[in-house]
Structure 1
Amino acid sequence: MHSERPGVPAVLKKESDYHIDLPLIFKKQEGQSRNFKNVSLRRNTSLHNKEYRWSEARFVSKRGRVKIYLRHIPQKSMRYVKDLGNTLVNLQWRWVILIVTLVNLTAYFTCALIFYWDSWLSGDFETDQKGQGLCMKGTNHAFAKFFMLGIETITTTGYGYWHPTENCNFFYIALGFSTLISILIDGIFISVVYVKLNRTKTFTFEQIFSRKAVVSFCNEKLCLIFRLNDRDGKHWISTAVRLYLLKQFTSAEGEIIPNFVYELKTKPHGMLFLPVEIIHEIDQHSPLWDMSAQEFMTTKIEIIAVVSGSSIQTGQSTVSQTSYLNKDIMWGYTFSPCLEFNNKLELVVNKRALNHTVPQEVPLCSAKCLNKLQNQIAARRNSMNLNLLLHGLDIVRTSRKHIDLIKVC
């Protein structure tokens, strides 16, 4: 089957509607658009818009952020307070710094109020004597000096010109309160900062993953391939690569699951010292077995790639992830080589070629249909070879008969 214009494939309705004896080969042209629908989205497009859901809705963004949000959670604030440790760890740094600042200011202000109240109860505001029988010396009844006194008490910097005396009634209570508050604040926020600095890191996809995934031949098998480039060694120890496919699934009972998760098996990839290609072979056990080029463009799918491991420099665990939608998967392309030698015979990684793809002749039918066609071709070749062999045997037998007749004559 040929299309009306050269270089543009004819859209197949169903594989079962056509009787194809030979593989349909199509070579993609450079710059050809792969999108089945030309969807232009605005920034404020509603989440309920059909076009938005079809083309842009993701579970995982290209930068690795999980885009799942919960709404109408009962007692949401109380749950955050009960799980305060995880809440502080998961907060962004700007909010942690703001909370630390507000908590310390509140502690300073509370301690200043206690000292102010103690000074008032001790009679400092009723007497005019200087230095005799005063609870707080040098304050002159100014609240700013009491606030400075609270800062000096909590931070244990020592007292200066203004300081409490033995004439205070509740000084030891204020001192014990400030000590407990300082220990509590330091213990909580030092632990939060330590956990945030040592938790599993997540890096952007530009540092690890290729922008596109391709469907091409690898060892005469139709495969889904994307490229990894961990140049900083963040995943070199105990590297694990996993692929997940999110696709609509209909159970045997007729239940439709809009986002069913399949796990895609990958071939061994080796070490990540150099850019490597992660290969998923589309075989009988793959959920992509029945999907043709047209279905790749029209069926809403999302492939999530997750790479985990530990840094070779610090030993810290690292997880990176990204996703590929229909528009991110290029059918009929393969990655170009990105390794080359320089003048000093040193192996160099060409960074510009990491995401560069070149066209490859790939059938537009599914891997299942392609397997049937390959079996048909193999059977025809075997039958042709057998006919040639039988024909050769007949020629040999005929020649032997002629030789025997010649000998008799």
Structure 2
Amino acid sequence: MCGFFRRHLQNRLLERRIRRNRLVTKDGRCNIEFGNVMYSNHFAFIADFWTTFVEIRWRFVLFFFIAAFTLSWFIFGLLWYWIARSNGDLSWQNPPDGHTPCVDNVQGLTASFLYSLETQTTIGYGGRAITPLCPGAVALIVIQSLIGAIVNCFMCGIILSKISMPKKRAKTITFSEMAVICPKKGTLCLSIRVANMRKTLMIGSQIYGKLLRTTHPADGETIIMDQVNIDFTVEGGKDNLFFVCPLTLYHVIDRNSPFFEMAVDTLHRQEFELVVFLDGTAESTSSSCQVRTSFIPREIMWGYDFLPIISRSKQGKYRVDFSNFSRVVPVTTAHCVCCFHNLKGHHLHSREGQVNQGFEAIDISEQHPTVTKM
């Protein structure tokens, strides 16, 4: 029992360390902080207050929502109380018989607050009503109506914008947790699988990647977060993808690829982060969004390939089996990229240290025999 908890604790600490060292988390968030920012630059966030409100957390939006309405009701309640007091309408002022108040049935602070709430929310219970004898009261009800409309529009716009943010659409696009390296059509490729969980398309989708690493040039200057472009393609090209079903992205590892010098026994000792981007426009909302994920060396499996997940039944229907989305199978692969390109037929494969326990490698013969794999 103690050994189980010790291993579990070690795994959790390792996951936290890996998550902390990433620039981009698996769900696409950027793990970066800004330091020594001049105080004058903070006013830029206030000037761009709309974006600031849209990007803050929901707990703060709900707080400002409640505070804006409650505070406006209370402030205007105090103004209505002041008008009633100036006109001698309050009960403790003992108004004479036949006295005409500015607002009927407003004789205290609580009644003033309730009248302010009823005015701004246009409830109008009928017990309290303004009279046309006080010009100040008429001006105040116009001002409160205008300010109440502005507060309503602003807060409703903020909530609607947060609900319909394009990055929410990105939650229904998922990448495989691991990348694989294996031969594809005579070339050695790094493959990643991506799936659209909705039936609505992503229009004009584009796939590209960035390899982030620390380099040490000959001049002695260390470059942190050096970025190298990584080209990905699918069967139909890399632009304007027909993203109706899960796709497998391929990066050809040739002499121009930064993975060319890597091998099966040196890959996991490298220090880099592969960030993959998918840009597109949601078909249902016409809003552009970007989906991001990242892969570190320990999340790249050498000598494995993804299992097919698209099949066609006897009735002619296409079927996507997401149970195979993250399942892989070992394939014959060269030890290194140089061996693959220079030594024909040299496809020795070592799986030592390359098996990830979170993925299940199975035999393709286990698949259902009544469907045709695509």
Residue 91 of structure 2 is aligned to residue 120 of structure 1: no
Secondary structure of the structure 2 residue equivalent to 1:170:
helix
Do structure 1's residue 40 and structure 2's residue 5 form an aligned pair? no
Deviations 1:90-132 (A, max 9, x none): 1233432321221011110011000101111122243333552
Which of 69, 78, 96 is the matching residue for 1:129?
A: 96
Q: Does 2:256 correspond to 1:300?
A: no
State the shift of 1:234 in Å: 5.2
Residue 140 of structure 1: how far off its partner (Å)? 2.9
Q: Which moved more, 1:252-261 or 1:166-175?
A: 166-175
Secondary structure of the residue aligned to 2:71 is: helix
1:297-350 alpha-carbon deviations (Å, 9 max, x no partner): 011211111112123344333322211112211011111122233343432222
For 1:193, the equivalent position in structure 2 comes to 159
SS of alignment partner, residue 201 of structure 1: helix
Does the aligned pair in 1 maintain the 2:200–2:244 contact within 8 Å?
no
1:312 and 2:283 aligned? yes
Hey, what does 1:211 align to over in structure 2? 177
Query: Quick one: distance in 2 between partners of 1:291 and 1:319?
Result: 30
2:279 and 2:200 map into 1 onto residues whose CA distance is 9
**Contact 1:108–1:150 under 8 Å retained in 2:** yes
Alpha carbons 2:190, 2:251 under 8 Å: kept? yes
Greater RCO between the two (CA within 8 Å, min separation 6)? Answer: 1
**Is the 8 Å Cα contact of residues 89 and 106 (structure 2) preserved in structure 1?**
no
Distance 1:331 1:202, change over 3 A: farther
Distance 1:342 1:312 in 2: 28
Q: Which residue of 2 aligns with 1:108?
A: 73
2:195 equivalent among 222, 225, 229: 229
Q: How many residues align?
A: 332
Contact 2:74/2:113 (8 A) holds in 1: yes
More moved, 160-169 vs 86-95: 160-169
Q: 1:131 to 1:151 in 2, by over 3 A?
A: farther
- Indicate whether 1:327 and 2:294 are aligned: no
Matched, 1:372 2:342: yes
Distance 1:180 1:269, change over 3 A: farther
Q: 1:122 to 1:205 in 2, by over 3 A?
A: closer
Residue 279 and residue 351 in structure 1: after superposition, are their counterparts in 2 closer, same or farther (change >3 A)?
Answer: same
Q: Does structure 2 conserve the Cα–Cα contact (< 8 Å) formed by 1:202 and 1:319? A: no
Deviation at residue 159 of structure 1 after TM alignment: 6.2
Instruction: Compute the RMSD of aligned alpha carbons.
Output: 3.0
Deviation digits for residues 154-195 of structure 1, max 9, x if unmatched? Answer: 223336222333443621332232123113213322332343
Distance 1:140 1:301, change over 3 A: same
Distance 1:52 1:186 in 2: 42
CA distance in 2, matches of 1:332, 1:102: 58
Gaps of 5+ in 1: 1-37, 46-50, 377-409
Q: In the alignment, which residue of structure 2 is the partner of 1:67?
A: 31
* AA of the residue aligned to 2:193: R
Segments of 5+ residues of structure 2 without an aligned counterpart are 1-7, 237-241, 347-374
Once residues 264 and 104 of structure 1 are traced to their aligned partners in structure 2, the CA distance between those partners, rounded to angstroms, is 50
Letter in 2 for 1:310: T
C-alpha distance in 2 between matches for 1:272 and 1:170: 63
**1:225-304 superposed matches below 5 A:** 225-233=191-199, 235-270=201-236, 271-304=242-275
- Alignment check: 8 A CA contact 2:172 2:198 kept: no
Aligned-pair CA distance for 1:266: 1.5
For normalisation by structure 1, the TM-score amounts to 0.72
Conserved in 2, the CA contact under 8 Å of 1:63 and 1:322?
yes
Question: How far apart in 2 are the matches of 1:158 and 1:213?
Answer: 63
SS at structure 2 position matched to 1:294: coil
Provide the C-alpha distance between the structure 2 equivalents of 1:231 and 1:157, rounded to a whole number of angstroms. 44
Equivalence map 1:334-345=2 (5 Å): 334-345=305-316
Question: Is the Cα contact below 8 Å between 1:240 and 1:309 reproduced in 2?
Answer: yes
| Structure 2 CA distance for partners of 1:260 and 1:235, relative to 1, 3 Å | farther
Matches of 1:259 and 1:249 in 2, distance apart? 8
**Counterpart in the other structure of 1:92:** 57
Instruction: Tell me: CA distance 1:56–1:135, structure 2 relative to 1, closer, same or farther (3 Å).
Output: closer
Given that 1:332 and 1:362 are in contact with CA atoms closer than 8 Å, whether structure 2 keeps it comes out as yes
**Alignment-derived partner of residue 18 in structure 1:** none
Say yes or no: does 1:139 pair with 2:109: no
Residues 187-216 of structure 1: per-residue CA shift (max 9 Å, x gap): 322332343344423456784211210011
Give aligned-pair identity as a percent. Answer: 24
TM-aligned CA distance change 1:77 to 1:105, over 3 Å: farther
Shift of 1:39: 10
Q: Is contact 1:205–1:321 with CA below 8 Å preserved after alignment?
A: no
